Amino acid sequence: MANTPQAKKRIRRNNRRAEINGARMSRIRSFVKKVEAACETGDKAAAADALKAAQPELARGVARGVLHKNTVARKMSRLTKRVASL
């Protein structure tokens, strides 16, 4: 257990950050799922719109430090490829 005031504060801060980052990840996953769902139905227009909405969210995840740059590049590439193949 934390003994020093700094360690106690760090625990509080880590818990707050984990909650915020969890919400960010959940939001990003929701946008990605919308693209995947549109691809499953075969609706190219809806998939393209969903992809256009998901890309800035993924980029924001990189900017906020929630996701790694290469992970997002790979996800965007794969999603774009799936939408283009419809």
Domain count, the chain: 1
Q: Is the pTM here over 0.85, yes or no?
A: yes
Full residue range of the structural domain in which residue 51 is found: 5-84
How does residue 2 score in pLDDT terms, banded at 50, 70 and 90? confident
**11-63 residue pLDDT tens:** 999 999 999 999 999 999 999 999 999 999 999 999 999 999 999 999 999 99
Instruction: Identify which of 66, 59, 55, 65 has the alpha carbon closest to the alpha carbon of residue 25.
Output: 66
Residue 15: which CATH number?
1.20.58.110
* Burial (Cβ within 10 Å: 0-12, 13-18, ≥19) of residue 55: middle
CA gap 57, 72 in Å, rounded: 10
Query: What was the pLDDT predicted at 32?
Result: 97
